[in-house]
Structure 1
Amino acid sequence: MTLTEVAHGTLAGLAEINGTGRDASRGGYSRHIWQPAELELREWFIERAVRLGLDVETDRNGNIWAWWGAPGSNAVVTGSHLDSVPGGGAYDGPLGVISALDAIARLQSTGFTPRRPCAILVFAEEEGSRFGVACLGSRLLTGAISPERARGLTDGDGIRFDAAAAGAGLDPAHIGRDSEALERIGLFIELHVEQGRGLIDLGEPVAVASSILAHGRWQLRFTGEGNHAGATPMDGRRDPMIAAARATVAIRDAARAREGSYAQGSRATVGRIDAIPGGTNVIASTVTATLDVRAETDEETRALVSDIEALAADAATKENCAVLVTEESWSSVVHLDPELRSQVASTLGGIPTLSTGAGHDAGVLASVVPSAMLFVRNPTGISHSPDEFAELDDCLAGVTALESVLRELLQ
């Protein structure tokens, strides 16, 4: 599906935001919290929601709520996020937000009146691309991260979260667990493009999620000795870049080597490497690598990280360097609410269930409210990439599924 194919009617929102946040160097989109592209998307969402007669408010953690009718307890809440990874695709996050808007528009067009409160919720900083912690909006909402830690997070330009929040009109002194907002949520359901090949293999357009792999993020900081690239003999170097390179290959091999039933679900990724001072003719003094590790259980994830720490230490020792491993975020394995999952699957005629290795706000909310997810087929299985894709018919099937589920839950 090209975005020009959806210029009118259902899913037109994909075309409306097609030009927002395009990344000329990476391809795809770079839409990061409280930066111009993401702020533009926030304004776009508010305008679309108001057009549907929804009442919009932004909570103290930067999440946007659009209420259909008066806010209240036991609400049916749906939604997703609008931010992206650097150079991300068009569907990860926005598809869920746009599908929620369109599902409510369809219900309104039939004269349907909800018998319980209903809201669309747009989460802040789901990807963690600016401040390094994934699902930051939902973590703050639920208290899964402390306000003190969140306020002190910094982006790549050294801007603190509290300063960025204040610049966006929030009071950073008041961020944190929002019990009043949580008490309104009776259940949460998130529609999302699938980030994998499960639905391709099943030959189905839509599935309901069963669980989310345990996952976390770590920083590996290798330190050596900065020096002149031309004047320092190869045998006399303490080069943290080589240590980081050795560790990166060893990390890949460690995840591949997991044995038994966990082998397929173990994943470890070094996604970014930054060198200081970063000169072409300079041996780095410090190299920082980001590490993402996921597995089917908390225990297996922690075991893999323990192996990686030992491998990183060995790689550093071989180059006469040192390494410090620091945990940045952690999410235990999530089993989404089985009763709600069963109800959703039954409403949709017994659609299949899938686990996922991708983290989501629904997984964070699942610790405090019944939560479910719908996946829409991704015909390539590629995500977090400009090549992320979804067929128009499958996206429409997702909107129809969400409409049916909301109708059932709201009556």
Structure 2
Amino acid sequence: MTESFEQLWAELAAIGKDPDSGGYHRGGWTPTEREATAWFLDQCATRGLTVESDGIGNLVAWWEPGEEIPGTIGGARGARLPGVVTGSHLDSVIDGGAFDGPLGVVSALSAVDRLRAEGFVPSVPIGVGAFVEEEGSRFGMPCLGSRIATGVLTPEKALALQDRAGVSLADALKDNGVDLDRVGPSSLLARMGTFVELHVEQGRALTAPVGVASSIWPHGRFRFTFTGEANHAGTTLMEDRHDPMLTYAMTALAANKQARLAGARATFGRLAVEPNGTNAVPSRVTAWLDARAATAEVLESLLVAITRQATERAERDGTQVEMVPESVSPIVDFQPDLRNRLSAVLGDAPVLPTGAGHDAGVFSDAGIPTAMLFVRNPTGISHSPAENAEMDDCLAGVEALATVLKDLAR
């Protein structure tokens, strides 16, 4: 007998939670993320779902048409038809919230349970997906699993990525028993006739329990490297310094101002300082900018303005600055016919854009008909231990997802 949403949620929410901060630490291919994946596989086995995996570890568990008794499916029957896939990811940002990603996975399992309990038999397969390293918190590349699966990121570039400890993705995969020769574009995509991702809304725009995504803002991660001259904090006159920290600080302030003026988003959330001594003027500051905007033109203008001000400040400080894009994602406009269909099926659910990136955006860009459902976030806080969604809204999300799957899988 399958468990309720509340039971499933409680089980998964216990994995990788920091007892002090209440945040989650489930970086890709770390023990806690692997534990969460093992939990998912166990839940799929309990339901008799047929699990398929690609070379990087993306998973889709299939409920095939032709099942005779709810809860006892033994595997695929007949032709391997394309189907409707739903799900999300199990990894987290560093000290992240409980809902970002896992809500979509648990809701997908619960929606399948609900449809089976109703006696619904799909005309096409329904898949429950769990995609790896969506946050990019370990290897710095967001939507890593889906980017590799769709061929956006080549195996060579992907395997060379390193985490903060200098461990390459190749070594992390080998440590987890992955055959590196299998890493590449995924066979799973051939069966993804439609993809629907349920996700907690990561802002305060949604006032109804459930909404539908219209688009994903263009966004990217950009590495700024500020170089200067290391020196003694106590003996070096202020006017004699070539301090890259000052250049970085002005750039962070400039990014904040320019983003506000443009109605965009700009965040320096990660910093590395060398030599990182309390009593030393640094020689190098590396800072990562996350920038997002409603259009590609606004995003490009924002980056130009920030980089120009950084360069002008570097000239005054006697330092140098270099900006390198690490990942850039274009705007995603979800297929209007599909998103409008979902909104109508859900009783004219509100339709809204999002500034957050998702695997759904990568799959949409790959030509797969894709849509997203959002569950209300009462505070708008995300990527934080304070991230939250009320249980009634989560259950409304399960009901909405089941309704959508039923409509798409007839």
- Tell me what 1:119 maps to: 127
Which of 133, 149, 169 is the matching residue for 2:157? 149
Take 1:97 and 1:278, find their aligned partners in 2: how far apart are those partners?
40
SS at match of 1:232: coil
Q: Map of 1:389-404 to 2, 5 A cutoff?
A: 389-404=388-403
SS of 2:382 mapped into structure 1: coil
Taking the aligned partners of 2:241 and 2:22, their CA distance within structure 1 comes to 37
Which of the numbers 84, 89, 92 marks the counterpart of 2:92? 84
Tell me, what secondary structure is at the counterpart of 1:324?
Answer: strand
Is the CA contact (8 Å cut-off) linking 1:11 and 1:98 kept in structure 2?
Answer: no
Counterpart among 286, 292, 310 of residue 312 in structure 1: 310
**Partner AA of 1:275 in structure 2:** V
Q: What percentage of aligned pairs have identical amino acids?
A: 50
CA contact (8 A) 1:59 1:65 kept: no
Could you tell me which runs of 5 or more consecutive residues in structure 1 were left unpaired when the two chains were aligned: 1-7
The equivalent residue for 1:3 is none
In 2, Cα distance between the equivalents of 1:317 and 1:353? 46
Corresponding residue for residue 372 of structure 1: 371
Q: Distance in 2 between matches of 1:366 and 1:99?
A: 21
Between the aligned partners of 1:125 and 1:342, the Cα distance in structure 2 is 30
Q: In structure 1, how many angstroms separate the alpha carbons of the residues matched to 2:204 and 2:242?
A: 43
1:366 aligned counterpart, secondary structure: helix
Change beyond 3 A, Cα 1:284–1:390: same
Tell me whether 230-239 or 351-360 shows the greater mean CA deviation: 230-239
Q: CA deviation at 1:318?
A: 2.2
Counterparts of 1:25 and 1:384, CA distance in 2 = 16
Superposition deviation, residue 57 in structure 1: 2.7
CA contact (8 A) 1:11 1:99 kept: no
Partner of 2:336: 338
CA contact (8 A) 2:149 2:184 kept: yes
**CA offset at residue 320 of structure 1?**
0.9
Is the Cα contact below 8 Å between 2:60 and 2:188 reproduced in 1? Answer: no
Q: Which residue of 2 is the match for residue 219 of structure 1? A: 223
**Under a length normalisation based on structure 2, what TM-score does the superposition of the two structures give?**
0.93
Q: Which of these residues, 9, 27, 33, is aligned with residue 4 of structure 2?
A: 9
State the Cα distance separating 1:375 from its structure 2 match: 0.2
C-alpha distance in 2 between matches for 1:82 and 1:166: 20
Residues 229-308 of structure 1 aligned to structure 2 (within 5 Å): 229-258=233-262, 263=263, 266-308=264-306
Distance 2:102 2:43 in 1: 13
Deviations 1:37-75 (A, max 9, x none): 101100011011111111123211221111112282321
Q: Deviations over 1:223-275 (max 9, x none)?
A: 111122222222211111111111100111111122xxxx3xx1111111110
**Structure 1 residues 158-169: aligned runs within 5 Å:** 158-169=166-177
Are 2:62 and 1:55 aligned? Answer: no
Q: What SS is found at the alignment partner of 2:219? A: strand
The amino acid across from 2:41 in the alignment is I
Matched, 1:67 2:62: yes
- Determine the structure 2 residue equivalent to 1:409: 408
Q: Any idea what SS the aligned residue of 2:206 has?
A: helix
SS in 2 for 1:198: coil
Which residue type is aligned with residue 168 of structure 2? R
**Cα shift at 1:152:** 1.0
Amino acid in structure 1 at the alignment position of 2:60: W
**Aligned equivalents of 2:131, 2:392: Cα separation in 1:** 26
Per-residue CA deviations over 1:278-305 (Å, capped at 9, x if unaligned) read 1212221111101011111112211211
Gaps of 5+ in 2: 65-75
Q: Which whole-Å CA distance do the structure 2 matches of 1:24 and 1:316 have between them?
A: 43
Distance 1:20 1:241 in 2: 38
DSSP 3-state at the match of 1:11: helix
Query: What do the CA deviations read for 1:56-100 (whole angstroms, capped 9, x no partner)?
Result: 232112211111122823210000001111111110000000000
Paired amino acid for 1:237 = R
Cα distance in 2 between the residues matched to 1:24 and 1:174:
37
Aligned to 2:192: 185
Question: Is residue 189–residue 373 contact of structure 1 (8 Å, CA) maintained in 2?
Answer: yes
Structure 2 residue identity aligned to 1:34:
W
Q: Which amino acid aligns with 2:224?
A: L
- Contact 1:90–1:386 at 8 Å: present in 2 too? yes
The answer to whether the 8 Å contact 2:97/2:387 transfers is: yes
Letter of the structure 2 residue corresponding to residue 104 of structure 1: V
2:72 matched to which residue of 1?
none
Partners in 1 of 2:12 and 2:192 — Cα distance? 28
Amino acid at match of 1:209: A
- CA contact under 8 A between 2:53 and 2:188: conserved in structure 1? no
Deviations 1:159-199 (A, max 9, x none): 11111122222222332222x32121100000000001111
Measure how far apart 1:111 and its partner are: 2.1
List per-residue Cα deviations over 1:94-135 (Å, max 9, x = no partner). 000000000001111222222111111111111111111110
Whether the 8 Å CA contact 1:63–1:124 is kept in 2: the answer is yes
Amino acid at match of 2:232: H
Q: CA contact under 8 A between 1:196 and 1:378: conserved in structure 2? A: yes
Give the distance between the partners of 1:272 and 1:191, measured in 2 at CA. 28
Q: Assess, with a 3 A threshold, how the Cα gap between structure 1 residues 25 and 100 changes in structure 2: closer, same or farther.
A: same
Give secondary structure in 2 for the equivalent of 1:278.
coil
Q: 1:305 aligns to what SS in structure 2?
A: helix
Contact 2:26 2:91 in 1 (8 A): yes
Distance 2:391 2:19 in 1: 25
Partner of 2:73: none
Are 1:205 and 2:209 counterparts? yes
Q: Which amino acid aligns with 1:287?
A: V
When the two chains are superposed, the root-mean-square deviation of aligned CA atoms in Å is: 1.4
Tell me how many residue pairs correspond in the alignment.
394
